[in-house]
Structure 1
Amino acid sequence: MYKRILVPTDGSDITQRAVATAVSLAKLTGAEIFTISVKDPYPYSAISEMQPTLPQEFLDAQERMASKNVAQVREACAAAGVTCTGHTVESVSVWEAVIDYAKQNNCDLIVMASHGRRGVQALLLGSETNRVLTHSSIPVLVVR
């Protein structure tokens, strides 16, 4: 069945349900979990001197949040006795980062929350989960 399950995380409550589902499935099938948290790149602009946050401060804060999200998944896996590999990834496109990571790590299933949204971008572009569903050649399990 499934041997390499990817569960992207943004730290939201609904994502925690996806993590729990992925961990349970991994335990049943003997699979290992891969997890990523996607960081936003620094929003450079022509008036960068007027940015309220310095680039390094912004990048450090993004890394702290993403690392915390990955650590939560790793802890859930460790508690269940499931092997977990976690990374943070920087990308302007969450759905592309998820699909690319799944392919690079030979994942055979992606488990995602149904409504993990990212700020204003979610209102403008729609659900990242929907984009993964639309573009992935790897099976996707959506958790509500």
Structure 2
Amino acid sequence: MFLERICIATDGSDLAVRAAQMGIELARSGAGRIVAVSVAQPYFSMRDEAAEVPDAQAELIRARKAARAHVDTVARIAQASHVDCEALTPLSSAPGPEIIRVAEEYGCDLIVMGTHGPNDANKLFAGSVAQHVLANSAIPVLLLRDPRDAAPPDFPEAHLA
């Protein structure tokens, strides 16, 4: 499989940056083009006792700034590696489908991303965006997992001798 364009999905986490580095290295061996995508994901919530309505405009600005910072990091890594990078920050409350849409729209041959993001407070749900992309993308997906999350090998005692 020849890789002409790679979609690198990033959420700004350390693991996402490592995945971006891997994706950029793969792009260097192919046509040298990537599409960096970070979904601007606003969070709107109100407590029952909240006295005032949250500032929706401020939250949208925050989400867009965060997403822009994430793709800018990937773009700097790509530039240092002489890889063309198009940076996108679509707005959505559901990043998984948006990542797939971008990868399809830009004709990507591979999606590269980390498995755990900064918003995964519970390990049970960690990686749900990556799981969605993996389960629903017709484009091949390369997931980078944090080695600290890997379970040690389960060898029976008899095989250790």
Structure 1-normalised TM-score? 0.88
CA RMSD after TM alignment: 2.2
- The residue number in structure 2 matching 1:50 is 52
Contact 1:117 1:127 in 2 (8 A): no
Q: Provide the secondary structure at the position in 2 that maps to 1:110.
A: strand
User: Greater share of strand residues, 1 or 2?
Assistant: 1
2: distance between equivalents of 1:37 and 1:121? Answer: 21
Moved more, 96-105 or 108-117: 108-117
Q: Provide the secondary structure at the position in 2 that maps to 1:2.
A: coil
Moved more, 55-64 or 12-21: 55-64
1: distance between equivalents of 2:37 and 2:117? Answer: 14
Aligned length, in residue pairs: 142
- The residue number in structure 2 matching 1:136 is 137
Contact 1:116 1:129 in 2 (8 A): no
Q: Provide the secondary structure at the position in 1 that maps to 2:38.
A: strand
Displacement of 1:8 after TM fit?
0.7
2: distance between equivalents of 1:69 and 1:121? Answer: 22
Q: Provide the secondary structure at the position in 1 that maps to 2:116.
A: coil
Deviations 1:64-104 (A, max 9, x none): 11111110000000000000000101111111000011111
Displacement of 1:31 after TM fit?
3.0
Structure 2-normalised TM-score? 0.79
Does 2:46 match 1:34?
no
What is the identity percentage for the equivalent residue pairs of Structure 1 and Structure 2?
Answer: 33
User: Greater share of helix residues, 1 or 2?
Assistant: 1
Q: What are the equivalent positions in structure 2 for 1:1-144 lying under 5 Å apart? A: 1-41=2-42, 43=44, 50-51=52-53, 53-119=54-120, 127-144=128-145
Displacement of 1:32 after TM fit?
0.4
Contact 2:4 2:27 in 1 (8 A): yes
Structure 1 runs of 4+ aligned residues shifted over 2 Å read: 41-45, 47-51, 116-126
Contact 2:117 2:127 in 1 (8 A): no
Which one scores higher on RCO, CA 8 angstroms, separation ≥ 6?
Answer: 1
